[in-house]
Amino acid sequence: MMKENSYHLLKLLMKPMSKFIDDKMLGTFLLLIAAITGFAWANSPYADSYNALWNIPISISMGNFAISESLLHWVNDALMVIFFFVIGLEIKRELLVGELSSFQKASLPVMAALGGMLAPALIYLAFNMGGPGSNGWGIPMATDIAFSLGCLLALGSLIPLPLKVFLLALAIVDDLGAILVIALFYTEEISLISLGIGLLILVISIILNIKGVRKTYPYALLGLALWLAFFLSGIHATIAGVLLAFTIPSRAQLDQKRFREETNSILNSFPEKEFKIMMVDETQRSMMQQLKCTVDNLDTPLQRLEDALYPLVSYFIIPLFALANAGVNIAQGSEGSSVFNPVTIGIIAGLFFGKQLGITLFAWLTVKLGLAQLPDQVSWSQIWAAGCLAGIGFTMSLFVTNLAFAEPILFYQAKIGIIIGSILSAGTGIIIMILASKRRSGTKHDDEAI
């Protein structure tokens, strides 16, 4: 009975997280369809139209100032800023009130993620150190949170909620690591003037937060200016999205007691005047606005932005990115190359072997050293399976590839490695997860029978 009560309490505490996880399913499905479509299109008789579409030049000009990029670059350098902004909001939320809000909660996924970044990078460098592909060491470090969680969700009730939360927290830490790698190691020549302007914009956004500005449009306008400053500075513009996210207000202005008092006061004094079609009484409308303000004071700009942007990112931006970047033409790209090259092998080995080895080993060491405990209802076999699923690097790995390689042949080799490594990781992770979950379920039933 005590175990059952603890389980129900855990489910109640994890309810916001479980809703977030469940919402990933549709996004994962759209991402998969977009990736398959892009790959099939690029290898069809209509491959020329695929390349022509993403190479369409698009220019934005204002007076003598103009930015001209291909459609592909606008997707990767502009739309993906919104994706990274949402990641930044997720990271900030988790640091404040989620699975990264205390040492006890954060130690296991943080250490597991650290192992899951170091091992793939080292394995990749073992194949490519000193070679033309050495700059791609960041590619197998990444985890695609949508695909990896999507695989877990596809297994339904076989997977305990704490395991989903562990993988989500691990993937968020992994994303933070990828962002730091992009900022520190995949940055071109820096323009100090543009960078200084960008930092000034960040300071202004922080001041707005301190001054209690909770409307979202000032931060949106500052975000556009920040993106442009970073775009011109040489630091990859998507970093602007993450930095801006950390300046968004995240504290509610009311606690539960004050919220109840204020809303009850408004509702109890609300004029009992009937209306048809619409409310026209000025007193009623004024009190309605007061009620809206009270609700807004309980909600936070961080949560409002996350809720508003999540569908845009999951159902449009990420599938569009996959469609634009998954188009690897095997016939064209294989000229003078094969799967057996250092870049492809390094990425496959990094994603498939490095991820599962690093995550499982570092998680085991963290528990053995007494820094964390294995989540309730989770076995080491399931942690191993989660490590395999974290080897699905698709979206983030493709993004880092765009930054790491300019040579078409290296670009092609990397994409092939990402696709093969991600498929192997997904298949192996699902098989191990099914076997481990069924074995654990069978053991549990045996214990109950005894």
Judgement on whether residues 385 and 444 belong to the same structural domain of the protein: yes
Q: Which residue blocks in 269-393 are alpha helix, DSSP H?
A: 282-298, 301-312, 318-325, 330-333, 342-349, 355-368, 380-389
Q: What is the CATH number of the domain that holds 423?
A: 1.20.1530.10
pLDDT for 445: 46
Helix (H, G, I), strand (E, B) or coil at 211: coil
- What tokens appear for 200 in the block? 């000034």
145 domain-assigned: yes
Report helix, strand or coil for 133: coil
The verdict on residue 135 lying in a domain is: yes
Is the same domain home to 279 and 334? Answer: no
Residues 321 and 381 in one domain: yes
CA-based nearest residue to 138, from 154, 122, 152, 115: 122
Instruction: Give the predicted TM-score (pTM) of the model.
Output: 0.83
Dihedral, 79, 83, 85, 91 alpha carbons, nearest 10: -170
Residue 224 identity (one-letter amino acid): L
Alpha-carbon span 29 to 40, nearest angstrom: 16
Whether residues 259 and 346 fall in one domain: no
Query: What is the C-alpha separation between 211 and 294, in angstroms, rounded?
Result: 19
288 lies in some domain = yes
Q: Is there a single domain that holds both residue 27 and residue 133?
A: yes
State how far the Cα of 255 lies from the Cα of 248, in Å rounded to an integer: 19
Please tell me whether residues 268 and 139 are part of one structural domain. Answer: no
Q: What angle do CA 410, 415, 420 make, to 5 degrees?
A: 125
**Tell me, what's the pLDDT at 155?**
78
Domain match, 351 and 445 both: yes
Is residue 42 within 8 A of residue 328, CB to CB? The reply is: yes
State residue 171's pLDDT score: 87
Q: Give me the residue label for tokens 């963290």.
A: 366
Half-sphere exposure at residue 11, Cβ-oriented, CA atoms within 13 angstroms: 8
412 with 441, same domain? yes
Given 246, 276, 299, which residue is the final one in a domain?
A: 299
Rounded to an integer, what distance in angstroms lies between the CA atom of residue 53 and that of residue 206?
A: 40
pLDDT at 184: 83
Q: Do both 41 and 107 map to the same domain? A: yes
Nearest 5 degrees, angle CA 305-CA 234-CA 179?
45
Three-class SS of residue 103? helix
The amino acid occupying position 367 is V
Give pLDDT, residue 127. Answer: 95
Residue 275 shares a structural domain with residue 374: no
Examine the domain organization and report whether 28 and 46 are in the same domain.
yes
Confirm if 392 and 143 have CB atoms less than 8 A apart: yes
Reported as type and span, the H/E element at residue 68 is: strand 65-70
The pLDDT, as a whole number, for residue 13 is 45
291: domain range?
Answer: 255-299
Which helix (H) or strand (E) element contains residue 61? Answer: strand 57-62
Of 92, 86, 142, nearest in space to 113 by CA: 142
274 with 383, same domain: the answer is no
Count of the separate structural domains present in the chain = 2
Q: Is 236 contained in some domain?
A: no
Of 141, 98, 99, 94, the residue nearest 116 (C-alpha): 141
Q: Tell me, what's the pLDDT at 41?
A: 93
Are 201 and 222 within 8 A, CB to CB? yes
Residue 79 placed within a domain: no
Note down pLDDT in tens along the chain; length 450 residues: 444 454 444 444 455 555 555 566 778 888 889 999 999 999 899 989 999 999 999 988 887 788 888 999 899 888 999 999 998 998 899 888 887 888 888 899 999 999 999 999 999 999 999 999 999 999 999 888 888 888 887 777 778 888 888 888 898 888 888 888 888 888 777 888 988 999 999 999 999 999 989 889 999 999 999 999 988 888 888 889 999 999 999 988 888 888 888 888 888 888 888 877 788 788 888 888 888 888 888 889 999 999 899 889 989 999 999 999 888 887 765 554 567 889 999 999 999 999 999 999 999 999 999 998 888 888 899 999 999 999 999 988 999 998 899 888 898 899 999 999 999 999 999 999 988 877 766 555 444 444
How far is 348 from 433, CA to CA, in rounded Å? 21
Residue 82 belongs to a domain:
no
- Phi, psi for 33 (deg, rounded to 5): -60, -40
